[in-house]
Chain A
Amino acid sequence: DTEVTQTPKHLVMGMTNKKSLKCEQHMGHRAMYWYKQKAKKPPELMFVYSYEKLSINESVPSRFSPECPNSSLLNLHLHALQPEDSALYLCASSQDQYSNQPQHFGDGTRLSIL
């Protein structure tokens, strides 16, 4: 079982909907990440939170809005998404952003935009 829990596992939404993806870890990690992965491609980094502050935003469109309410939780708020945003969204955590400790990934949320 993964130690990073993502909900929901699957999400289908229309382009005008608002939804949120959730990620939780209880390993005491202080860095959390959102990745987007299209089929047959490597994960692409979207956001990094370090000690609950946004550290990296990889020029992600504003229709994706991250939030880190506390050190264990990471949300990704979605609004007015486009069909090309359909993908697997992966959350990860690591001890901290700069050390050699590996990132641990969740199972992901498979998002489909109609």
Chain B
Amino acid sequence: AQKVTQAQTEISVVEKEDVTLDCVYETRDTTYYLFWYKQPPSGELVFLIRRNSFDEQNEISGRYSWNFQKSTSSFNFTITASQVVDSAVYFCALKYTGANSKLTFGKGITLSVRP
């Protein structure tokens, strides 16, 4: 069974603060893929990053960085110097490679960045 846990439900920070969004996953597959999506109030889910299970390199993209640790089954997302435009719901998702392959989403984290 696949499961994604985003224990934080709502986070509120002041602009320019750093914030980390946690994601813990469970899977019995040895090959799997992890994703982060952003959903602003407009509704569209915006793809942010993908990580393959065999690639534990961390990644930085501008103010965004991701920490993937297989030992703890975690794939955490940090926003540095947050901005009001970062306010959105953030979903972590897991995809396995077997038959009926599909995305399993976490419950999402609502991030509010106050000016």
Contacts and interface: CB of A to CB of B under 8 A. Distances in A.
Contact of A42 (B33, B42, B91): B91
Contacts of A90: 43, 45
A102 B47 contact: yes
A107 B43 contact: yes
The size class of the interface chain A forms with chain B is 20 to 34
Given A100-B33, A100-B95, A102-B50, A43 B102 contact: no
Contacts of A107: 42-44
- Which bucket holds chain B's interface residue count? 20 to 34
A100 B45 contact: no
Residues of A contacting B: mostly: loop
Contacts of A88: 43
Given A42-B105, A45-B102, A45-B103, A98 B47 contact: no
Contacts of B50: 100-102
Interface of A: 2, 40-43, 45, 48, 55-56, 88, 90, 92, 97-98, 100-108, 110
Interface of B: 33, 35, 37, 42-47, 50, 52, 91, 95, 97, 100-103, 105-108, 110
29 contacts: A2-B44, A41-B107, A42-B91, A43-B45, A43-B91, A43-B105, A45-B103, A48-B102, A55-B100, A56-B102, A88-B43, A90-B43, A92-B45, A98-B101, A100-B52, A100-B95, A101-B50, A102-B35, A102-B50, A103-B47, A104-B47, A105-B37, A105-B45, A105-B46, A107-B42, A107-B43, A107-B44, A108-B44, A110-B43
